[in-house]
Amino acid sequence: MIANHLIAAMVGIMLFFTVVVAPTVFKVLPVEWSSKYVRNFFPKYYASLGILTVISAFLAQSSHAQYLLIACAILFAFTLFYLTGKINQAKDLGLHKQFHILHGLSVAINLVQLIAFIYLLVVSL
């Protein structure tokens, strides 16, 4: 039961950032500030959600949920420790095509994780 509360919180965090925070940051702040904000935010975002996902995996009641949560935690770690650095490097070097591909991959991974979390909540009803 506690795992479901954590998963629901993660869904809320992910949706709030996607729908409210990110669009606001890019509309309100100058490019150099929004870029600096995002570079500082995302490592904390991935680390926090990754830790919550690991905790949820330990608390999940079914092995199916545990495996799915562990997969999501691995994806958070991959995005935090590998992909984010590559995205920043591509941006810094002006490699626009590579940046868009890597950024698109990070968005796709985040979407898959969000869908997995929503799935786990729905099947637990």
Question: pLDDT per residue over 15-69, tens digit each?
Answer: 999 999 989 998 999 988 998 999 999 999 999 999 999 999 999 999 999 999 9
Q: Report the chain's C-alpha Rg in angstroms.
A: 15
Q: Please check the confidence at residue 118 and state whether its pLDDT lies above 90.
A: yes
Q: What count of Cα atoms within 13 Å lies in the side-chain half-sphere of residue 105?
A: 15
pLDDT at 5: 97
pLDDT tens digit string along 71-105? 999 999 999 999 999 999 999 999 999 999 999 99
Residue 73 is part of which domain span? 2-123
Measuring CA to CA, which residue among 93, 108, 91, 97 is closest to residue 32? 91
Give the 3-state secondary structure of residue 58.
helix
How many domains is the chain built from?
A: 1
